[in-house]
Amino acid sequence: MKTLFLPGVLCLSLWAGTFGRCDDAAGCMFGKDRMIFPKGFMLPDQQQDGPVPPGWWEGSYQGARRPGDPFRQRVEFSLVGMSQRELVVREGDLGQDAADAAPELAKALLDGPAWRERCKAADALGKIGPGADAAAGALRKALKGPEASVRRDAALALGRIGTAAGEACHDLAASLNDSDLRVRGCALWALGGIGPAAAPALREALANSNAEVCESAARTLARMGAAAVPELRSALRDGNPYVRWGAAHSLATLGPAAKDALAELLKTLADDGGGVRLEAARAVGQLGAAAKDAAPALAKALRDEDFAVRAAAGDALAKIGPAALPSLRKDVADTDPRVRRAVLRALCKIGLPAMPELRVAVGDQDAEVRRQAAAGLGELGPAAEGAAAELRKALGDADPLVRGEAAISLGKIGPAAGDAVVELARLLGDPDSDARQRAAGALAEIGAAAVPALKRALGSEDQRVCRLAAFTMSRIGPPAVPALCQALDDPSSEVRWLATAAVGGIGPAAKDAVPALQKTLKDQDPDVAWQAAWALRATGH
């Protein structure tokens, strides 16, 4: 690439021995016998269309100022053969102020000798926007042109013109089957830009054999908002399952704006297609409490053969809230454990109003149901104090996951679960390591009430229990210091070492243990004495 700089004039780019296109800061474009000038360069109105005699020619033109058109100005330039039409193409960059140039741009779009010029004309019409509605017919014709780039830019221009290009919906719908991916995408975007008038065309696109087009059409319909709901309601009754899926998917994306489609969505919950049922359940869930009348139908969907549909139905019931409890109560004792699990997921999300059902479910025959129920009670925090008895019983469950979940939930209840410390301390010796760790965490959350039980566990013959007890007392902090000081006199050197380490772990807050630690510096076991010295440093002494 060679570049010739002409001071004060223009920058010419020569490529492959012929004039090519230059998109540099000067914004110029050259051909063998024509040239398009930078933004703002215009010929006067009286200049006739057609090429200026080729060759270097210098002149001065006065562009007449018109009201509201600040861009027209006196320009002096040098040029290589050009036409008014080519300069009008550049005028499109001025946006809506160049609306009067739309007819010339439409001619350039259809008659331009080079595809680049036609692309530029389409792009300019798009920049003009709604003011270029007179060129919509030319843009529709350009959608059928041979060059994909021109078709793409024509589609974009129609979308930018907006509602005024409503008559182009059929042509844009046809472009959804274009061989070029970019053209299909721009056609979809344009239909969205046209607005509600394009809803019928987009509904037809839901049946497109290309899955990407179908899904994109659904998203485009959803972006139209409530204006697309009537068309989507009709689409839910379509015989094509792809159309029904796309309609339900769009309604799910719309959220509360789709409330008028509730009746059709309830019927769609019984659709033959699992994917359609799934999207219908999601759409109902997005309506929230406004869909309380849908609770029985959603409860029925909890028995769906598709897990995803069951899960979506449960989520929808949870979003409806306490109003869905009557329907859920009927299924808490369902013979199918899959149904009970789906019910439990919904109850857990509903929260405190569902606590009675969750307390019952902790004793369910299915281990997964019991685990979910215990976890749901834990999410209620201290408000689940009334369920502590059921959770204490669950600490002895045959399933280690249930035992661990019950321990976590008791810990979330906090000091109010103090009556469970004996069972939790016993769980420190559980064969399952996760259950042991969760019991230790629960005891730490309960706090001072757990100290006596932990002190007893500190003297256990099981070293795992001893270490967990010491670690938990360290987490409890100052309330555990007196018990740890007493443990410094234990006959077992292992207990003394653990107690000393726990005091050091508390840090400066264990200052009351300093006298006992100083005494322990003389312990007959050197490991204990060394640990006491470390603990004293940790307490700040």
Q: Read off the CATH number of the domain in which 521 is found.
A: 1.25.10.10
State the distance between the two ends of the chain, measured CA to CA, in whole angstroms. Answer: 79
Choosing from 149, 167, 185, the residue where a domain stops is: 167
In a domain, 321, yes or no: no
- Name the nearest CA neighbour of 228 among 257, 206, 186, 207: 257
- Which of 108, 119, 88 is CA-nearest to residue 21? 119
Cβ contacts of 335 within 8 Å, gap of 6 or more:
none
Q: What is the pLDDT along the chain (541 residues), one digit of tens a residue?
A: 333 333 333 333 333 333 333 333 333 333 333 333 333 333 333 333 333 333 322 333 333 333 333 333 322 232 233 344 444 445 445 566 677 888 888 998 998 888 888 998 999 899 888 989 999 999 999 999 999 999 999 999 999 999 999 999 999 999 998 999 899 989 999 999 998 899 889 888 888 888 788 888 888 888 888 888 998 998 898 888 888 998 999 999 888 999 999 999 999 999 999 999 999 999 999 999 999 999 999 999 999 999 999 999 999 999 999 999 998 988 888 888 888 888 988 999 999 999 999 999 999 999 999 999 999 999 999 999 999 999 999 999 999 999 999 999 999 999 999 999 999 999 999 999 999 999 999 999 999 999 999 999 998 888 889 999 999 999 999 999 999 999 999 999 999 999 999 999 999 999 999 999 999 999 999 999 999 999 999 998 7
Question: 533 CB contacts (<8 Å, ≥6 apart)?
Answer: 521
Q: Residue 327 is which amino acid?
A: S
Given this model, what pLDDT does residue 379 score? 94
Q: Are 427 and 395 in contact, with CB atoms under 8 Å apart?
A: yes
Residue whose pair of structure tokens reads 């009067």 in the numeric block: 100
Residue 173: inside a domain, yes or no? Answer: no
What's the rounded Cα separation, in Å, for the pair 263 and 268? 9
> How do 11-15 and 18-19 pair as beta strands?
antiparallel
Sign of CA dihedral 348, 354, 357, 358: positive
The H or E element spanning position 141 is helix 136-142
Question: Is 313 within 8 Å of 325 (Cβ atoms)?
Answer: no
Dist. CA 331–CA 347, nearest whole Å: 11
Number of domains composing the chain: 2
Tokens in use for 98? 């160049």
pLDDT of the residue at 337: 87
Rounded Cα distance between 423 and 410, Å, is: 11
Evaluate whether residue 58 is within a structural domain: yes
* Stated length of the chain: 541
DSSP string, 185-233: HHHHHHHHHH-GGGHHHHHHHTT-SSHHHHHHHHHHHHHTGGGGHHHHH
Supply 533's token pair. 């010295």
Give 465: exposed, middle or buried? Use CB within 10 Å, 0-12, 13-18, 19+.
buried
User: How much is the pLDDT for 95?
Assistant: 60
Q: Which of 139, 167, 195 is the last residue of a domain?
A: 167
Yes or no: say if 151 and 176 are a contact pair by the CB < 8 Å rule.
no
Residue 416 lies in a domain: no
Residue 521: closest CA among 402, 541, 148, 250 = 541
pLDDT given for residue 447 in this prediction = 93
Domain encompassing residue 15: 1-167
| 276 occurs within a structural domain | no
Residues 331/299, Cβ–Cβ less than 8 Å: yes
Structure tokens at 285: 């869930």
For 114-165, the pLDDT digits (tens) are 888 899 899 989 988 898 999 999 999 999 999 999 999 999 999 999 999 9
Cβ count within 10 A of residue 62: 10
162 within some domain: yes
- What pLDDT sits at residue 96? 61
Q: Does residue 30 fall inside a structural domain? A: yes
Place of tokens 């454990």: 337
Residue ending a domain, among 110, 140, 167, is 167
Distance between alpha carbon 165 and the CA centroid of its chain, in Å?
33
The angle at the Cα of 60, spanning 55 to 61, to the nearest 5 degrees, equals 110
Give residue 113's pLDDT.
Answer: 84
Residue 463 forms part of a structural domain: no
